[in-house]
Amino acid sequence: MPSLLEALEQKYGESSTESEGSDDEGISVAIFVPCKSPRSIVPSLLVLNDCDIATAGEKEALEAKCACVEELDLAKNKLKDWPEVFGILQQMPRLKFVNLSFNELNTPLKNVEVDRNLRWQQLRNLVLNSTYIDWESVDQILDHLPRLEELHLSMNDYNVVNLCKKNCDCGRIDNKTDNETKCFCPTIDYRKKHKHGGIRKLHFNGNPIDKWREVCKLGYAFPNLESLVLADCPIESLDVNVESDDEKCNRNYERSESECESGNNKESPHDSFRVLKFLNLNSTRLATWDDIERLSKFPALHCVRIQGCPLWESNEYTEHERRQLLIARLPNVEILNGGGVIGSDEREDAERAFIRYYMEKPESDRPERYFELVSIHGKLDPLVNVDLRPEKRVKVTFTCGSNSEVRSVDVYRSVSDLKTKLEAFAGFSAAKMRLFYVDQDLRDIQGPEEMKYPHKQLYSYNIQSGDEIIIDCKKKINEK
């Protein structure tokens, strides 16, 4: 497997420039060779995906080539050892973006000697998707990135958040079947550990985390978090007090390794997300309107994505009704599932539709938001269901010569079909028939209107009961 330096040489290395003159012709050729080939200049954006890179290579040569690199993408390589990763990063002091996704970096960083004073002051964005890095290593890496603003930890198989250490000195290994061997060393309250204040954006997609209280630990670790993406995480509820059956059975005997909290667990879903502005909950397992109500309590939240959840699997609502119910329940949200800002007219229409929707429900089923909106808009009258479709059948007077008859007619029948039905009454074929429509209200103003088009349906003439249709026979053309 090549080193990073070898991969660079292969992609950007100097091409040999040789000139051979012909002895027979006796021609000598002089070629100017620049001091540095353009291909030897490594760009500021360096992409070396899927190159089987496993090591850094010779440091001095790497530094000479990569001192100006600002963005580094090493996704899908064979990097496994953190010393090699740090060896690469140390030679690139100007780095602003690093992508190490899909490298197996699950070796604990605590076993690696790293200079505590080492800092990457320019690095703003770090991508560690599907690296399976452990939480302690994440915590240690962030200590060296004081200006980091965006962190990607997607698809790392996290079902808990362990960004606070347990301070265990006894060396015991937890044994769930023997209570006497439990560790009772002091723990750190994660609510008081505001360590990584620079991070504004966190991508946490595709992790099997399902408890919101674990997600809340991310908020406490990153107190200035403004954007959080939790798409494809099996989160079942935003209630921090939801417990699984195993936790209910074990809570009186032990504390999970992931739980760094003190005994008091009473907190709101938004306590750790005081400045969160954007939240993506697409393809989670949220299934109740109660969780939507909880989103309305986030103090700074104004942009939400929430699609593909079990809450929408019911056919009870149309797409438009679903959006209205969401907007009415989320007065703090300005942008919902992408698109533009929710306007004042759309919000008012949604709130009024929300009131009318729950007016028909039992009072016990009406949410608190219903009464809040009634206090704003008042009690509304139900909408009148106006059916603007034409009557299906009308009674029309048919006149052919001196014969006249009132018949019931289907207005969705075509003119051609009507002619066929009138052959027996008229006494001649439909091919020879001409029809004239007489509107009873406009009889004296515009006179009869010929129904020329055979495929036109009768309702398009606005036919009503009491109108008349005159049947006439086409005149034969006299041949000379």
pLDDT (0 to 100) of residue 303: 97
Higher-pLDDT residue of 241, 201: 201
- The residue among 252, 272, 271 whose CA lies nearest residue 263 is 252
* Angstrom distances, CA of residue 312 to CA of 43, 55, 466: 47, 48, 49
pLDDT (0 to 100) of residue 175: 41
Is the entire prediction scored with pTM above 0.75? Answer: no
Confidence of residue 62 (pLDDT cuts 50, 70, 90): confident
pLDDT (0 to 100) of residue 243: 66
Bridging pattern class, strands 227-229 and 201-203: parallel
pLDDT digits (tens, 9 = 90+) for 358-367: 888 888 889 9
pLDDT (0 to 100) of residue 21: 45
Contact 112, 83 (CB under 8 A): yes
Is the model's pLDDT at 256 over the cut of 50?
A: no
Q: Which domains, ranges and CATH numbers included, belong to the chain?
A: 393-473 (3.10.20.90)
Q: Averaged over 366-370, what is the pLDDT?
A: 92
Contact 143, 115 (CB under 8 A): no
* 148 φ/ψ sector (left φ>0, alpha ψ -120 to 50, else beta): beta
Which of 19-23, 38-42, 384-388, 452-456 has the largest mean confidence?
452-456
Is the model's pLDDT at 104 over the cut of 90?
A: yes
pLDDT (0 to 100) of residue 179: 46
Confidence of residue 100 (pLDDT cuts 50, 70, 90): very high
Torsion (CA) 399, 403, 407, 410 in degrees, nearest 10: -40
* 344-359 helix and 368-377 helix, angle to the nearest 10 degrees: 120
Q: Averaged over 241-246, what is the pLDDT?
A: 64
pLDDT digits (tens, 9 = 90+) for 135-179: 999 998 998 999 999 999 999 999 999 887 544 555 444 444 444
pLDDT digits (tens, 9 = 90+) for 19-40: 344 454 455 555 544 454 444 5
Q: Averaged over 287-314, what is the pLDDT?
A: 93
What is the CB-side half-sphere exposure of residue 335 using CA atoms within 13 A?
Answer: 12
The phi and psi torsions of 274 (rounded to 5 degrees) equal -75, -25
Higher-pLDDT residue of 13, 284: 284
pLDDT (0 to 100) of residue 260: 46
Contact 473, 428 (CB under 8 A): yes
pLDDT (0 to 100) of residue 241: 83
Confidence of residue 385 (pLDDT cuts 50, 70, 90): low
Q: What percentage of the chain carries pLDDT values higher than 70?
A: 80
Contact 435, 471 (CB under 8 A): yes
Confidence of residue 332 (pLDDT cuts 50, 70, 90): very high
* 26 φ/ψ sector (left φ>0, alpha ψ -120 to 50, else beta): left
Q: Averaged over 306-314, what is the pLDDT?
A: 89
Instruction: Round the average pLDDT of the chain to a whole number and report it.
Output: 83
Q: What percentage of the chain carries pLDDT values higher than 90?
A: 51
pLDDT (0 to 100) of residue 312: 86
pLDDT (0 to 100) of residue 446: 82
Is the model's pLDDT at 209 over the cut of 70?
A: yes
Which of 5-14, 133-142, 274-283, 419-428 has the largest mean confidence?
274-283
The SS3 of residue 395 is strand
Is the model's pLDDT at 203 over the cut of 80?
A: yes
The phi and psi torsions of 326 (rounded to 5 degrees) equal -70, -50
The SS3 of residue 82 is helix
pLDDT (0 to 100) of residue 245: 53
